[in-house]
Chain A
Amino acid sequence: MENPDEIIYIKRILNGETNLYSLFLERYSRTIHSLIVRIIPSKEEAEELTQDTFLKAFRKLDTFKGDCSFSTWLFRIAYNTAISATRKKKIIFPLIDDTMLENASEELMDTVFDEDDNEHRLQQLEEAITKLNVEEKTLITLYYTDGKPVAEIAEMLQQTSDNIKIKLFRIRKKIYVLMTK
């Protein structure tokens, strides 16, 4: 995932070639926005937070050490920015009893999704996804929509890969429970 070109661009931006920053905007603005919009569904707010993310990244560009890829670093800023916005809004997410999650077996989950063309199931699934908390929405967006590997997601969210795998597994169970509730 690391891109040597990006390091060169960063050096040049730091040396005064500000216009090169537009390359990063072109490359990442859509993916950053699609992540933020999952967390903050309002169009205006999501766009504003995307702007904040790029401004923060520009201001702190000299602190980018290159110990991870630029996209990982940028996604981390986007995630933290979106999280701060949700904290201000105090959004309440439904809590699921742990025993309900334990009872959901993989076989059961798969049988529910056998008819994946079913419109009703799809609608239920969409509703269940909207009920997930911020971290869970971020995880499934990064994993399923952006196709990021578990290791990169772990680096972004500053957690271990095993932890991310467990969380993804629990999210799948939670979606199932929310759908069948």
Chain B
Amino acid sequence: MNQDKAIIKALKSMEGPTLSDDFSSGMMNRIYLVAAKKKRRMYIGTLCLISTVSLGMISMAVYLLRDYLSDKLTFHLPSLASLVESVSRYGFGFYIAFLTFILIALDYYFRSAWQKHKNENLGHSNL
């Protein structure tokens, strides 16, 4: 079609300004900065999350040791009283720490599995 040819010709002759020679290098410097910022943000985010969860667990442990286990448990569960009394407070502290460790490990495992699954999906959908 004549019009199509003419449009192509006009568009070619209308070619505007081109990109500057240092576009790619300048752009990559900005990309590196964004990547570093992203990494730092993720690190701070993870640190905050872990700190919050740990603090929550510690607060819960302190609360349980100080207010709940000291008298209420014996009141609510009299049959368990002897058993609970026999467990030292230090032992309970270690138990909570162990639980925290397990939860953090599980979190790490599921995050890795999810990331792997996501990457695989990304690959398969276009291959």
Taking Cβ atoms with an 8 Å cutoff, the residues of A that contact B are: 2, 4, 6-8, 10-11, 14-15, 18-19, 21-22, 25-26, 29-30, 33-34, 37-38, 41, 43, 46-47, 50-51, 54-55, 58-59, 64-67, 69, 109-110, 112-114, 116, 121-122, 125-126, 129-130, 140-141, 144-145, 172, 175-176
Binds A, one of B63-71, B77-85, B88-96, B118-126: B118-126
Q: Smallest CB-CB separation from A54: which chain B residue?
A: B27
Cβ contact of A59, chosen from B32, B34, B123, B125, cutoff 8 A:
B34
Cβ contact of B14, chosen from A50, A55, A66, A129, cutoff 8 A:
A129
Check B24 against A140 for contact (C-beta < 8 Å).
no
Q: Smallest CB-CB separation from B2: which chain A residue?
A: A113
- Is B87 located at the chain interface by the 8 A CB criterion? no
Number of chain B interface residues as a range: 35 or more
**With A and B bound together, what is the CA distance between A122 and B11 in angstroms?**
10
Binds A, one of B15-23, B49-57, B99-107: B15-23
Check B31 against A21 for contact (C-beta < 8 Å).
yes
Whether A10 touches B122, Cβ cut-off 8 Å, given contacts A55-B30, A116-B5, is yes
Provide the main secondary structure of the chain A interface: helix
7 intermolecular pairs with C-beta atoms under 8 Å apart:
A22-B28, A43-B17, A46-B17, A51-B26, A58-B34, A113-B5, A126-B13
Whether A25 touches B126, Cβ cut-off 8 Å, given contacts A109-B3, A114-B2, A144-B4, is no
**With A and B bound together, what is the CA distance between A22 and B35 in angstroms?**
13
**With A and B bound together, what is the CA distance between A88 and B100 in angstroms?**
52
